[in-house]
Structure 1
Amino acid sequence: MSQYVARLGQRLPRPPHRIRFHGAARRPRRVAMLSVHTSPLDQPGTGDAGGMNVYIVELARQLAEHGTQVEIFTRATTAGLPSRVELAPGVLVRHIDAGPYEGLAKEELPAQLCAFTHGVMQAWAGHRPGHYDLVHSHYWLSGHVGWLAAQRWGVPLVNAMHTMAKVKNAALAKGDTPEPAARVIGETQIVRAADRLIANTAEEAGELVRHYDADPARTAVVHPGVNLERFRPADGRAAARARLGLPQDALIPLFAGRIQPLKAPDILLRAVALLVDEDPALRGRLVVPVVGGPSGSGLARPERLHKLAAKLGVSDVVRFHPPVEQAELADWYRAASVLVMPSYSESFGLVAVEAQACGTPVIAAAVGGLPVAVRDEVSGFLVEGHEPAAYARTLRRFVTGGLTDRMGESAARHAAGFGWDAVAASTLEVYADALHDRRRHLRSAHG
């Protein structure tokens, strides 16, 4: 995929010899943020939209609150979209035409990087030199565009992988498709090119070093955050259940997120089937909401999961719901007895923190960043492996209801430490370090 960028780069002017940084001494005045394959305006839980969308939106808003303007470049996925949308004061979303608007799978996007980069450069050409002080790219596809943009503009590149091919391939769900070798190569190139890498957790930083030979000195750990104004206990579980039409005395294990093998919603269904087999009387007070849509560009119902529910004999207790807006999602969290995240891989697990912020404990796989997001035996439980029986045993602890309330209070306290304001402040420190190093290298180069 780098060949697409390289060809475009041959047609672009070199950056000016003298670089000027604007704004405060330690902070960029304006950041170009890149999100090629998913728009921050898309509904999380649909297509390829998920935690990264939430991350970009919340971080950009908080950066603007701290005085750093953000322009987010993303691919236009619908005809007739305005070229620019103000997401919030100081945050602008720019839609770039690159490839067909609809039906383009993420795997086909490398072929559109040249067109996307051209659109970014067209936007830049309309500004005075030095308009952007830094590039922050999200995911490896954006990293390749950011690599070229940062070189042409003479500014630092900060990249956040969010997920990594080598890590995902090492923990594939049964029947899932491995990430291609081309992505591994692309990620390796970005790790080498970036001035700074942002990892969600110390474990992810270690994976960057171990799998991609990242420089530890250029790798920073910044935990993602949660919107604590939106995700909070509010008026409680009973009120949330009333609003959603859920029975007050039900055991409600919730799955929320994209329906894909990586997220493993099938494990929850299999665990529920085991619970019902062990205690048939439980069926009458069990509701299992699956809130989310299928991954990818398709909008079809998640037929495989529907068929699995029927095969397991739990169709009567499983309720499939399409993705919902953040305000309603908070109600689903509040209404749940427990959130279940049996994922095979999670760079962090933002959904887990959102649920805890609403006062709901979490049962999660002990993978990736989930041991950071969930405090084991305090705000929830971490489960080793992916055996449905292990999840069934843990779910059984919530049957009586008292554990939900006790752990829910601890969960809310735990999540309170993950506010976006702190994330933005830490990210600005990473920016400042990258800018400082760039200035130092420029001084050295010019004697």
Structure 2
Amino acid sequence: MKKALIISNMYPSQDHLSYGIFVKNQVQQLNEAGIETLLAVNNDPATGKKNVIKKYSKWALNVWSTFRKNKRDISITHAHYVFPSGLFSYYLKKRYNVPYIVTAHGGDINKMAKKNSRIKNYTANILQNADHVIAVGEELAQTIQSEYDVPENRITVMSMGIDRTVFKETDKRTAQLALGMDPERTNFLFVGNIIQEKGVEELVTAFNTLDAQHPNKSALYCIGSTKDANFTTKVKQLKTSDNIHFIEPMPQTELARYFQAASIFVLPSYIEGLGLVALEAMSCGTPVIASEVGGLKYILANNTGVLVSPKDASALEQAMSSALQGIQVDEAKVQQLLETHDAKNIVQRLTTLYKQIAK
């Protein structure tokens, strides 16, 4: 095959390191596997109607100009997020007969498509006309098949993969001391955008209660981007414990040190296509407490972690309280899970798919 045009409405930049970092990681892995790529991506996370119109207009021009300049060299497009990214791939197939793969990440199906009937119709057209659909989790794949009438043989469940050369286990006490954590405490970690759907309010509320009942036995580190300054302020105002620390995003090599140091990783999301960060934590030898939603309920099934009801601060606090004594998991099943989601295995499967579909 020739080149793959990667289209994504999320991609990191110097100012926004974690914004769609999983897409950038996969692009680099594809390049290392011998697949030449071209990028047409949006790296501006700004919200608000004016900002969205401005950034998406600029992105659209980028997509068209990149395609026009390289039309003869492009044999496939790969859109990350069904809408809006997939709309470009859909158009390029209709107009120029360029085949495409679209990866559904979760929010595009569980949230974006439910905004209005117009977006849902776009979503249906993009999925039904795709040469292949990748869903990052099992439940997401089932939804696409049942609600959007996409045949099972055109859907593959495939996560974005974890780089186990970066996210790997080290001595936890040494890692904690290096980051200024108290090794005598249970150090809880959250990594994700500071938004309502990630369950950050419930997490802070649960930890406040935990710390009041078991003073100075634990600490909570929340690493993530502010998407809405008002919401972030609201969450920080909920904080009654001095043992809660909010930290700005950082490069993945530094972030891996927090995964390695943490005693327990917590992801209390309302929706989650897969929950790649949970796998990254597990790859660092850190057990996980997470909401029983989306891909998380598959990842943490069969004694590979702890599942709690979403939007339930009390249930979350109880799980965190129990975790002060440690969490026992089935290590053999955890390792099997990590092998399945190893980036090397994922990119090999994706490369095969590209070559089957490319014109």
TM over 0.5: yes
Task: Output the CA distance in 1 between the equivalents of 2:347 and 2:142.
Answer: 22
Amino acid corresponding to residue 216 of structure 1 in structure 2: E
User: 1:209-248 CA distances to partner (integer Å, 9 max, x unpaired)?
Assistant: 22222232322221331010000012x1111111111111
Query: Is residue 430 from structure 1 mapped to residue 353 from structure 2 by the alignment?
Result: yes
Counterpart residue number, 1:286: 218
Counterpart residue number, 2:130: 194
User: Gaps spanning 5+ residues in structure 2: where?
Assistant: none
The answer as to whether partners of 1:357 and 1:416 remain within 8 angstroms in 2 is no
Identical counterparts, % of pairs: 23
Query: Is residue 150 from structure 1 mapped to residue 108 from structure 2 by the alignment?
Result: no
Task: Output the CA distance in 1 between the equivalents of 2:172 and 2:292.
Answer: 27
**Which aligned pairs between 1:98-177 and structure 2 lie closer than 5 A?**
103-105=46-48, 109=52, 116-127=59-70, 130-139=72-81, 140-164=83-107, 167-168=110-111
Higher mean C-alpha deviation, range 102-111 or range 256-265: 102-111
Report how far residue 337 of structure 1 moved.
1.3
Task: Output the CA distance in 1 between the equivalents of 2:192 and 2:50.
Answer: 20
**Which aligned pairs between 1:333-348 and structure 2 lie closer than 5 A?**
333-348=259-274
The answer as to whether partners of 2:11 and 2:21 remain within 8 angstroms in 1 is no
Q: Secondary structure at the match of 2:79?
A: strand
Q: Secondary structure at the match of 1:389?
A: helix
User: 1:69-123 CA distances to partner (integer Å, 9 max, x unpaired)?
Assistant: 111211364xxxxxxxxxxxxxxxxxxxxxxxx8454896468656544433323
The answer as to whether partners of 1:293 and 1:301 remain within 8 angstroms in 2 is no
**Which aligned pairs between 1:314-329 and structure 2 lie closer than 5 A?**
314=241, 316-329=242-255
Report how far residue 384 of structure 1 moved.
3.2
Q: Secondary structure at the match of 1:133?
A: strand
Q: Secondary structure at the match of 1:160?
A: strand
Q: 1:370 aligns with which of 293, 296, 305?
A: 296
The answer as to whether partners of 1:45 and 1:292 remain within 8 angstroms in 2 is no
Task: Output the CA distance in 2 between the equivalents of 1:104 and 1:275.
Answer: 34
Q: Secondary structure at the match of 2:73?
A: coil
Q: Secondary structure at the match of 1:367?
A: coil
Report how far residue 164 of structure 1 moved.
4.4
1:141–1:332 Cα change, 3 Å: same
Q: Secondary structure at the match of 1:397?
A: helix
The answer as to whether partners of 1:231 and 1:355 remain within 8 angstroms in 2 is yes
Task: Output the CA distance in 2 between the equivalents of 1:183 and 1:247.
Answer: 48
Q: Secondary structure at the match of 1:287?
A: strand
Amino acid corresponding to residue 198 of structure 1 in structure 2: I
Q: 2:233 aligns with which of 300, 303, 311?
A: 303
The answer as to whether partners of 1:45 and 1:258 remain within 8 angstroms in 2 is no
Query: Is residue 70 from structure 1 mapped to residue 13 from structure 2 by the alignment?
Result: no
User: 1:12-52 CA distances to partner (integer Å, 9 max, x unpaired)?
Assistant: xxxxxxxxxxxxxxxx33100001x3224366676xx2xxx
Amino acid corresponding to residue 64 of structure 1 in structure 2: N
Task: Output the CA distance in 1 between the equivalents of 2:291 and 2:13.
Answer: 29
Counterpart residue number, 2:280: 354
Task: Output the CA distance in 2 between the equivalents of 1:301 and 1:365.
Answer: 21
Amino acid corresponding to residue 232 of structure 1 in structure 2: K
1:336–1:284 Cα change, 3 Å: same
Task: Output the CA distance in 2 between the equivalents of 1:107 and 1:166.
Answer: 24
Counterpart residue number, 1:398: 323
Report how far residue 393 of structure 1 moved.
1.9
Task: Output the CA distance in 2 between the equivalents of 1:220 and 1:185.
Answer: 22
Report how far residue 386 of structure 1 moved.
3.1
The answer as to whether partners of 1:256 and 1:292 remain within 8 angstroms in 2 is yes
Amino acid corresponding to residue 276 of structure 2 in structure 1: L
Amino acid corresponding to residue 190 of structure 1 in structure 2: I
Query: Is residue 38 from structure 1 mapped to residue 10 from structure 2 by the alignment?
Result: yes
Amino acid corresponding to residue 41 of structure 1 in structure 2: S
Q: Secondary structure at the match of 1:302?
A: helix
Task: Output the CA distance in 2 between the equivalents of 1:106 and 1:226.
Answer: 34
Counterpart residue number, 2:22: 55
The answer as to whether partners of 1:361 and 1:408 remain within 8 angstroms in 2 is no
Counterpart residue number, 2:160: 224
Query: Is residue 244 from structure 1 mapped to residue 179 from structure 2 by the alignment?
Result: yes
- TM-score normalised by length of structure 1: 0.72
Task: Output the CA distance in 1 between the equivalents of 2:88 and 2:124.
Answer: 14
Stretches (4+) displaced over 6 A: none
1:257–1:306 Cα change, 3 Å: same
Counterpart residue number, 1:208: 144
Higher Cα radius of gyration: 1
The answer as to whether partners of 1:166 and 1:211 remain within 8 angstroms in 2 is no
Q: Secondary structure at the match of 1:246?
A: coil
Task: Output the CA distance in 2 between the equivalents of 1:300 and 1:191.
Answer: 35
Q: Secondary structure at the match of 2:165?
A: coil
Alignment length, in residue pairs? Answer: 357
1:294–1:68 Cα change, 3 Å: same
User: 1:359-414 CA distances to partner (integer Å, 9 max, x unpaired)?
Assistant: 0000011110112333442x3111234322222222122213xx35x549668624
Task: Output the CA distance in 2 between the equivalents of 1:44 and 1:422.
Answer: 28
User: Gaps spanning 5+ residues in structure 1: where?
Assistant: 1-27, 78-101, 171-177, 439-447
Counterpart residue number, 1:88: none
Task: Output the CA distance in 2 between the equivalents of 1:223 and 1:119.
Answer: 27
Higher mean C-alpha deviation, range 60-69 or range 300-309: 300-309
